[in-house]
Structure 1
Amino acid sequence: MPVPFVLASASPARKRLLAMAGIPVMVYPSDFDESQIQITDPGQLVQVLAEGKARSTMRDLFDRQAELPPGFFSTHPGLILGCDSVLAIHGEIHGKPKDPDEAIARWKMMRGNVGELFTGHAFLQPYTTEQGALMPYPPLVRTQVTQVYFADISDRQIEAYVATQEPMNCAGCFALEGRGGLFVEKLEGCHTNVIGLSLPLLRQMLAELGYDVTDFWA
């Protein structure tokens, strides 16, 4: 039986990546308040946010255990994965744009430039003590970085792209697997990292936790 796997993210792209890799997941988005975190280093920021999301979902699920497979917190602990991505251009961190005007301005700054897409990955293995207290094993947290080379696109292309609404819910203001892929010249590093999570890093992290990735295949 596959190990229970919870994705603490509402991202359809992350769920699709895991499904394509043969890993079925239960999706329980986190309600973690990202605004409370003020960190200027992008690698550290995504790690803190990813772990915060995983912990928030863990606490929520502990109160909703009836929705989970038996023994999720005890006999056969399941895994909870939290992720977060940001784009850094010239050291400045960018997340999702707050409105179309910001998205247009962002793209005018991004075009012809190289960005670094950081994605934090945080695994928790929660369990309960004999007294019923909720505890996690030590978290495993890692960051993957990919270099993104943006095309030098026109104002008209930028405005048309933002009008599709695609970039509005994307870290970095573009979706590689959608129309935004037309405006990326090349990548250096893991391409799935730009979509939402790094599958090679995921495999490595599962191995560090003592699993083979095939343990999760349905």
Structure 2
Amino acid sequence: MRIVLASQSPSRAAILRGAGVEPVLRPAHVDERAIEAELADAAPGDVVAALAAAKAEAIAPHYPDDVVIGGDSMLLLDGQLQGKPHTEERTVERWRAQAGKSAQLLTGHCILLGDKRYVETSTTTVHFAQASETDIAAYAASGEPLQCAGAFTLEALGGWFIDAIEGDPSSVIGLSLPVVRRALYEFGVNASEFWNLPRN
């Protein structure tokens, strides 16, 4: 049995590798904008959960005997869900809006094993620093935050501008190990079964 990650996020893969797991990487391609539009009136946590589920479900039929993980993260800032900024200009706008504020990073998880299914959205509060205009421009120009939910990373350059978090750090990076563990236990599987440790 393997863990299959239905994501192209390097951060999600890095979390699993850091936790002793070498995942099978099988990015799912779903129409995220269409799903978001369909759920325009849904609760923010339900939106990220639905996106995660769409990704996992797209891949799961190809891996019936493996654990398939779909994930999606968005930032809830001032009541509005924020996805990836994609451009430098949009990143600068986002940071001007969120600098000095607190927001909730929502990470939806859908974990499948055969006909077993586990869905959970984790919420972590992020306290953003009052970053200077020069640093905001430099961070945007680095390219790092362009493909990141909320236009930031916790584990790399963006760490300079996060004053604190309340919740699960791995969830902010993109995949909650506690959520995955809970799913595995629900399926009757132990986390240690997936560890790729050197043998003595």
- The question of a shared fold, defined as TM-score above 0.5 by the shorter chain, is answered with yes
Q: Any idea what the Cα deviations from partners look like across 1:5-45, whole Å, max 9, x if unmatched?
A: 11000111111110111112100000111111123422101
Greater helix content? 2
CA–CA separation in structure 1 for the residues paired with 2:10 and 2:86: 20
Map of 2:105 onto structure 1: 117
C-alpha distance in 2 between matches for 1:152 and 1:103: 15
Q: Structure 2-normalised TM-score?
A: 0.92
Partner of 1:159: 137
Aligned Cα root-mean-square deviation (Å): 1.2
C-alpha separation between the residues in 1 aligned to 2:128 and 2:182? 29
SS at match of 2:151: coil
Q: Which moved more, 1:205-214 or 1:37-46?
A: 37-46
- What is the total number of aligned residue pairs between the two structures? 192
Unaligned 5+ runs, structure 1? 62-71, 127-136
* Distance apart, 1:81 and its partner CA: 0.5
Contact 2:113/2:187 (<8 A) preserved? no
TM-score (norm 1): 0.85
Q: What is the match of residue 148 of structure 2?
A: 170
Residue pairs, 1:5-154, within 5 angstroms: 5-37=3-35, 38=37, 39-40=39-40, 41-59=43-61, 61=62, 73=64, 77-126=65-114, 137-154=115-132
Greater Rg by CA: 1
**Which residue in 1 is equivalent to 2:177?**
199
Quote how far apart the aligned CAs of 1:98 are: 3.1
Q: 1:188 and 2:166 equivalent?
A: yes
C-alpha distance in structure 2 between counterparts of 1:138 and 1:12, whole Å: 26
Give the fraction of aligned pairs with identical amino acids, expressed as a percent: 39
- Tell whether the 8 Å contact from 2:87 to 2:146 is kept in structure 1 after alignment: yes
What residue in structure 2 maps to residue 65 of structure 1?
none
| Mapped partners of 2:174, 2:143: distance in 1 | 18
Secondary structure of 1:152's partner? coil
Residues 35 and 58 from structure 1, CA distance in 2 versus in 1: closer, same or farther, beyond 3 angstroms?
Answer: same
